[in-house]
Amino acid sequence: MTRSLVSAEQHSVTRPETITELFDEYDAYLFRVRNLAFDTVKIRRLYLNRAATLLSLGTAADHFFALTPRRLMSAVDGYALKYAPGSRSFFQMALRSILRFCYLRRYMDLDLSGYVPSFRRPRLASIPRAIPEDIIERLMASIDPESENGRRDLAIIAILATYGVRGWQVRHLLMCELEWATSRIHFPACKRGKSIIQVLTTEVGNRLSDYIRHERPATTMSPEVFIGSKPPYAPFKWPAELSLMITKRLRQAGLQVPEGVSGGTHGFRHAFASRLCGKVPFKYISDMLGHRDTSTVLVYAKVNFDDLAQVALPWPEGGVL
């Protein structure tokens, strides 16, 4: 009797008809129930759209509900061949989360979230790959301030190179966080880290002043420093927009970063930390990067090859290995 009632209840559930309806309902769940930030939900949606394309789901939500463990594992393996480890982790997280959501809503009879495979990396296993300093200098020298968005792009790149902050912090930098009188710049906390207060250097200050006075649209609708040059003068919406801008500028300048080096915002962050490694205590580097856990920056000790060479042990019978 109980089993038949449960079965009847399951069949009475009204399931979304299209993939878009399903993803919209999932977004609303992340906002209302999980209380996730708007940017986090946007990123989650980005990866779900990639999953829909990779799985060839079309437009019907029933295609998603009919997924099998074999198709899921094949999709994750295929994604791992095209994208970096960080992107793979977000992809797997998004896929597990929505599969669990569908099971709890009784849209699917089986919880398939456990069938999404994991690719684990030991902590500190990789070596940070930084954009070389000479490429940063040549990139900035190649941008004409009089070109379209030239002053804005120069100010963004100067901030990334000088402070090593994340792209999110640049996109959410507010006008009120520029303290011209005290020469201070405040960056908001990101990824459960700490907010950052830095000295507003002469170069960055001049770049920002030039952009705000001569190029930034005179609008009070957007408190963010960096906004679009055309109506409705909105700030950057997607994380990839800054990286795409940098990639475009590198291409225009005829510059190519070394293989394995991020040509986006994170390459500047690695360059900043690598530049300071061995010159200031790790605690200071951690504070300047906005980390709460100091051990997070220990990975940059791997790039200090000069100091690492000094700890090499003498090889038996003469010489140093």
CATH code where residue 53 lies: 1.10.150.130
Q: pTM for the whole thing?
A: 0.64
Residue 223, domain member (yes or no):
yes
pLDDT (0 to 100) of residue 234: 86
pLDDT (0 to 100) of residue 40: 85
Nearest to 196 by CA among 163, 242, 225, 223: 163
Domain of 37 in residue numbering reads as 13-115
User: How many structural domains comprise the chain?
Assistant: 2
pLDDT (0 to 100) of residue 8: 42
Residue 320, domain member (yes or no):
no
> Are 157 and 188 in the same domain?
yes
> Are 209 and 171 in the same domain?
yes
Residue that finishes a domain, picked among 53, 85, 115: 115
> Are 140 and 233 in the same domain?
yes
Residue 306, domain member (yes or no):
no
Residue 124, domain member (yes or no):
no
94-131 core/surface letters (b: 16 or more CB in 10 A; e: else): bbbbbbbbbeeeebbeeebbebbeeeeeeeeeeebbbb
> Are 109 and 188 in the same domain?
no
Q: Which residues pair with 227 in a beta bridge?
A: 235
pLDDT (0 to 100) of residue 11: 47
Residue 284, domain member (yes or no):
no
Residue 319, domain member (yes or no):
no
Residue 313, domain member (yes or no):
no
State which amino acid sits at residue 94: A
pLDDT (0 to 100) of residue 228: 86
Residue 260, domain member (yes or no):
yes
List per-residue pLDDT tens for the chain, 321 residues long: 344 433 444 445 689 999 999 999 999 999 999 998 887 898 899 999 999 999 999 999 999 999 999 999 998 888 888 877 778 888 999 999 999 999 999 999 999 999 998 766 665 555 567 788 899 999 999 999 999 999 999 999 999 999 989 899 999 999 999 999 999 999 988 877 788 899 999 999 999 999 999 999 887 678 999 998 888 888 887 777 888 899 999 999 999 888 777 778 888 888 888 787 767 776 777 778 777 766 666 666 555 555 555 556 666 665 554
pLDDT (0 to 100) of residue 299: 63
> Are 171 and 110 in the same domain?
no
Nearest to 64 by CA among 31, 92, 35, 103: 103
Residue that finishes a domain, picked among 115, 144, 179: 115
> Are 142 and 67 in the same domain?
no
> Are 140 and 257 in the same domain?
yes
Residue that finishes a domain, picked among 70, 89, 115: 115
